[in-house]
Structures are given as structure tokens and as C-alpha cells.
Homo-oligomer: A and B are copies of this chain.
Amino acid sequence: MAISPLAPAAFPDLPVIDGVTFAAAAAGVRYQGRTDVMLAILAPGSAVAGVFTRSATRSAPVLDCQAKIGGDPSGPAAILVNSGNSNAFTGRNGVEAVAALTSAVEQATGVAQARVFTASTGVIGEPLPYDRITAKLADLAAHQDAANISDAARAIMTTDTFPKGASATVNVAGKQVKIAGIAKGSGMIAPDMATMLVYIFTDAVIGQAGLQALVSGINDQTFNCITVDSDTSTSDTLIMGATGASGVDVTGNAHFTQALHGVMLDLAHQVVRDGEGATKFVTVDVIGATDDSDARKVAMAIANSPLVKTAIAGQDANWGRVVMAVGKSGAAADRDRLSIRFGDITVAENGWRAPDYSEDAASAYMKNPELTIGVDLRLGNGHSTVWTCDLTHGYIDINADYRS
């Protein structure tokens, strides 16, 4: 699998977060010749917050994590993630697998089962061969290292073509607080529910309730604003752990909120940049809607339209398909007020092609790897920005034989 042309130049140097260690191993869950399991351990007292898929068919690990979030934080916590098998729609076997894994983590590390958060990602509906993972736990416990976060980022990849990481360092009251996060996601990516797999760590001091509110709020503006293919995973999980090792309380601190927003947006964008088969990174910017909800409907209708996405893949300035998507979105729209721009080029306004429209200029713009589609509905103050990628032969190649 070639690396996405939209990938960052390299995996970033992530700062060590005091109070968190990582290890990765090759358990052969499904993939051979690569790591596929990661174990992270967080120091006693770490606050752990989470956001999860709202799918009605969510996986056993998701249900288990949801039950555990908000529990007593006095002991250490652990995060165990495997790729290759999602342990979703696996019935009683799925529940047994989660119990076996969390119990084995407790045995290997001393972290209480009630504080072990698992996630599985990969094929749906096949029993998880969890004994392959438990066989690696002693090894994973023995090799814990604060510097191993990039190994963890690699171990959780499925159809991803590059590992995803982002970080920030914030000054709060004259002291430094650090944030580092990793993510995986490439296909079956749609917002409106939750996200893909994302793990973010900070050495800040913050209570569980405060951390949860912060993460949920920012999630709505970042991971919930991306879409690759309109399909929502059964396994989407975002977990954030705050170890408190810096001794700096960030509760209500605007700089910390802004930095975390930056890290989460960066990771969300990296997921889109690794969208299956993607060759274009597209920002869809809608303003002038009756309200924000209508703006989001229009933005998502554009971002999820197969015809808009294939036109972008073909570098075709086919703004008529944007008109179509606005029309089908269900949002209030007045055809004769609507304006559409590609980057800075106004292509349509007042219900028709812009008077100075130049096909050559619009076509030249479409050759850029990063594009902005702007829509002004001119009805009100509602606005929404979402991010997506194009729909290419690569997507078909990947998904017409993912299992085989």
C-alpha cells in the first residue's frame, strides 16, 4: 500500500508525557510481519475521559469502555488496543474476549480490570483470537517506555498508510503542560456519532468531569466534522488520559483548551489525509445558513456526495454538483441567493454561473492537492466547516477486497 500523497512528511517528534508508558508487539491477530497490539499504562490518579460511537451495533470493547469511564481514578489505568479484528458483532464471544483481555492485563500489570480500557479495530463479525494477545501481555508489560508512543501509533493502524500523531506544549502559570495524541482511521469514517481510534495524553491536572466536558466539546468541532465515506464505525473510540504529573491544574484554562483543540483537529485532519484512496484534502465551508444545524446539513451533503467527490478526484470544477448537493441536503436554501466558491474563485452566485466565471481558472485551481469549497446561502448567520477527501479508484481497490 503506497503512502497517501496527502501524508505529512514524517511522524512528528512527540514529547514524553510523564505518567504514561507504551509498548507494542506483533501478536499476529490478523496481520503478519508487523505490530498489531499496543498497551499503554497511566499513572495512579490519572483522569480518563472518552467519546464513543453511537452506532446501535457498537462493539463489545466500546460497551465495556463506556461502562468504565468515570470510575474511581485512584489506581493506575491501562489502554489495550489491537488491530486486524474489531471484536464487533461477536455476541457472547465478544464479551468473553474483553473479560479475558482485561483480566490478563490486570495479571500482567497490576492495573485493576475496572481501569483497563480496550479497543479492537479491523474486520467485523469474526471471533477475536484473544489468546494471541494475552500471550504477549507479559512482554508488553516488561517493555513499557514513555518514549514508545510512535510504536503505539503504528500498532493500531489498519488500512492506514501512515501513523498519526500530534502534540502541543502550553504554558500555564509559568509552567509547561504537554499534550500528545495518536490516532488511526482511514475508511468507515463518518462523523455525527463519534470518531475512530484516538488516544491523547497530557501531564496536566484536571478532574475527570472537567476533562470529559472538554473532550466532548472539542470532539464536536474536530472529529465530528470529518467524513471519508459517510460510513460510521462500530468501534469508534477516543480516550484521553490526564496524568497530572506536571502538577499544573488546567481546569478552565483557555490556552490548554486551545492547544487541545489544535491537537485534536490535527489528528482529525490526518485521518482525512489518510482517507482510503484520497488524493485531495477538501475543506467545505458553509456560511449564511438559517442556523448552524442547517449549515452542517449542507456541508455534510457536499462532503458525502459521491458525485462531488468523484468530480474532485477528476480535478473537474463541476460546481453544478455542489448545487445538487445543496438542493438535496434538506436545509433551507434559496437557489437564487446561493453563491459558491472554489478557493477564492466565485464560480456561481445569484442562481447562476458567476458573470466573470473562467473555466480555465477554476480548472487550474482544482489541480491543487488541498481545496476549499465555500458556500454562502445568504439566509442567516449559521455556519459549519467540515473536512473530507475525494472518492477515487483507490477507494474501490481497497474496499472491493478488504477481507480477502
Contact = CB atoms under 8 A, between A and B. Distances in A.
A380 interface: no
Contacts of A364: none
Contacts of A306: 229-231, 306, 391, 395, 399
A11 to B, nearest CB: 27
A314 B88 contact: no
A91 B124 contact: no
A323 B57 contact: yes
B56 A310 contact: no
A123 interface: yes
Interface string A286-327: 000000000000000000111100110110101111011111
A329 B234 CA distance: 12
A366 to B, nearest CB: 11
Interface stretch (A44-52, A142-150, A254-262, A345-353): A345-353
B91 A307 contact: no
A359 to B, nearest CB: 9
B323 A125 contact: yes
Interface of A is mostly: loop
Contacts of A56: 326-329, 331-335
A182 B355 CA distance: 38
Contact of A307 (B53, B187, B307, B348): B187
A3 interface: no
B403 A327 contact: no
Contacts of A351: 89, 91
A338 to B, nearest CB: 7
Contacts of A319: 125
A190 interface: yes
Query: Residue among A93, A311, A327, A335 with the most chain B CB within 10 A?
Result: A327
Given A231-B306, A335-B89, A314 B399 contact: yes
Interface string A121-151: 0011111000000000000000000000000
Contact of A325 (B126, B231, B353): B231
A181 B281 CA distance: 44
A392 interface: yes
A393 interface: yes
A302 to B, nearest CB: 11
Interface residues of A, number: 71
Nearest to A313: B400
B324 A234 contact: yes
A402 B314 CA distance: 9
A124 B399 CA distance: 30
A324 B348 CA distance: 38
A8 B126 CA distance: 38
Contact of A324 (B231, B326, B338, B350): B231
Given A89-B351, A123-B320, A125-B348, A231 B307 contact: yes
Contacts of A327: 53, 55-58, 232, 234
Contacts of A26: none
Interface string A180-209: 000000011010010000000000000000
9 contacts: A57-B338, A89-B351, A89-B352, A89-B353, A124-B321, A188-B324, A230-B306, A232-B324, A314-B402
A-B pairs, 6 with minimum CB distance:
A124-B320, A91-B352, A314-B400, A57-B327, A55-B327, A310-B399
Interface of A: 53, 55-58, 86, 88-94, 123-127, 187-188, 190, 193, 229-234, 304-307, 310-311, 313-314, 316, 318-321, 323-329, 331-336, 338, 348, 350-353, 391-393, 395-396, 399-404
